[in-house]
Structure 1
């Protein structure tokens, strides 16, 4: 090949690569522009909800529980307790921090269920103001226990211990393609549980740890209507969020048996919270086309 031919071939190759890169750049810009437009449309939709209306961004309703996330159940229970008007949004369930649920209120985004509750309690209704310092400390300890400990035990059961993820299939809707993502999801959750600590123990050891948590709640609740006394407060939202999922979203699990048979006062507690704040519970559940799992 002559020098001219060699240089011509290189030039043609560079031109082809340049054309390809240009096409890829244009496509990337188009995707970015579409995402920006879509985000702006959603923002306009959320802002149109009205003053003091909470737009609750969540994963959606389930077949047996209004939220397929314990933290969604926790947060909406508080919003109902506080008397907020609520607009559910399932189009953008994940916040900028990668957490769900989150809210938009009067154009301001807030994330993390506990931080949201604390912020709204400080600026609207505080249902724990009547508690003594000692009682508030106890309530805080129970909230941390269920959100940071009991929750991970539930996660382990639903996505790792349960080999066919039957609880998820029986209680919530999800796209059929999600099944192909389960191996990756399980790998990520296994790593997260190992880092958290519960992933380092056997199923029997984890069950014993979970039983202690559940028994502690049952013992402290006793015969009281709500955890801290005659009236519900913020901590009840966290307790209900987790126990509600053990009761309604963990069929056939040993934890369902604990709540319904070993510590029946917890089942009655959940039913009281449901009756008090969720009179429309059955109406808003997602209705499966079939009772059979996917």
Structure 2
């Protein structure tokens, strides 16, 4: 997916996978030109995907499982059964609820759409953008209506977003910015999920009720900032410039 000025990918799933690769210390090369159109031939036909020799693995979670087995790079080996369960519950909340609320504010809300119609398609000729992008938006609206989020009022979507952020923040340790989410002193897969998704809320130029509510969670914001600085130091200064002055430092 398209890199953004402040995050490595506009897709939280792609950013999640790239973050995991960085956390695991695995060398990789990003292909945003989709030379790997092979991903469409995979069983799930989802991005992101990994191409390794003759193998194509699609879907961020499947990619991480494959990396763990192929390279012996599981970040979750020291988690307790309770921490594994917590990680799964938080991952489901973020990837299957927060994600669609993020999508609502990008594709359905006019303010977000006015931004991404240009940011997502930087190489599209200006004369074609107002002709082609409405068709893309219409397809996305159909998908969001099928999923359900587009059927709710803006007030209901904002309420669901705030509740999700409250739930995630309730699990965030005050020292997570130093010791990672579970306090083990090293990252686990939930840290990659958190940065991929919450980073795509905090560090993208789309304001929304979910972003405003997230900014109120001091421990959570400090934690996400620490991950951004640690794993994307080349992007962190630009990313932090989007934050209100009182939370930048």
Note the alpha carbon deviations across 1:207-249, whole angstroms, 9 max, x for none.
Answer: 1011111111111003131222243201111121110011011
Q: What SS does structure 2 have at the residue aligned with 1:148?
A: helix
Report whether the alignment pairs 1:266 with 2:223: no
Note the alpha carbon deviations across 1:88-128, whole angstroms, 9 max, x for none.
Answer: 21221652154222111233111001110112123321111
Report whether the alignment pairs 1:103 with 2:57: no
For the 8 Å contact 2:229–2:236, the answer to whether it is kept is no
When the two structures are superposed, what TM-score results if normalisation uses the length of structure 1?
0.70
* Distance (whole Å) between structure 1 residues aligned to residue 159 and residue 120 of structure 2: 27
Residue aligning to 1:200: 151
Distance 1:272 1:164, change over 3 A: closer
* Distance (whole Å) between structure 2 residues aligned to residue 279 and residue 62 of structure 1: 15
Residue aligning to 1:52: none
Note the alpha carbon deviations across 1:6-44, whole angstroms, 9 max, x for none.
Answer: xxxxxxxxxxxxxxxxxxxxxxxxxxxxxxxxxxxxxxx
For the 8 Å contact 1:171–1:249, the answer to whether it is kept is no
Note the alpha carbon deviations across 1:234-268, whole angstroms, 9 max, x for none.
Answer: 111112111001101143222221122x2122221
For the pair shown, the structure with the greater C-alpha radius of gyration is 1
Report whether the alignment pairs 1:246 with 2:201: yes
Shift of residue 279, structure 1, vs aligned partner: 2.1
For the 8 Å contact 2:6–2:203, the answer to whether it is kept is yes
Alignment of 1:104-143 (within 5 A): 104-123=51-70, 124-143=72-91
Residue aligning to 1:79: 21
Gapped regions of structure 1 (runs ≥ 5): 1-58, 286-294
Distance 1:165 1:81, change over 3 A: same
Moved over 6 A (4+): none
Equivalences, count? 226
For the 8 Å contact 1:127–1:233, the answer to whether it is kept is yes
When the two structures are superposed, what TM-score results if normalisation uses the length of structure 2?
0.82
* Distance (whole Å) between structure 2 residues aligned to residue 269 and residue 104 of structure 1: 31
* Distance (whole Å) between structure 1 residues aligned to residue 112 and residue 208 of structure 2: 13
Report whether the alignment pairs 1:66 with 2:20: no
Alignment of 1:1-294 (within 5 A): 59-92=1-34, 95-96=39-40, 97-123=44-70, 124-163=72-111, 165-168=113-116, 172=120, 174=122, 175=124, 176=126, 177-225=128-176, 226-229=180-183, 230-260=185-215, 262-281=216-235
For the 8 Å contact 1:72–1:101, the answer to whether it is kept is yes
* Distance (whole Å) between structure 1 residues aligned to residue 155 and residue 95 of structure 2: 21
* Distance (whole Å) between structure 1 residues aligned to residue 236 and residue 111 of structure 2: 29
Q: What SS does structure 1 have at the residue aligned with 2:75?
A: coil
* Distance (whole Å) between structure 2 residues aligned to residue 190 and residue 133 of structure 1: 39
Shift of residue 68, structure 1, vs aligned partner: 1.3
For the 8 Å contact 2:49–2:60, the answer to whether it is kept is yes
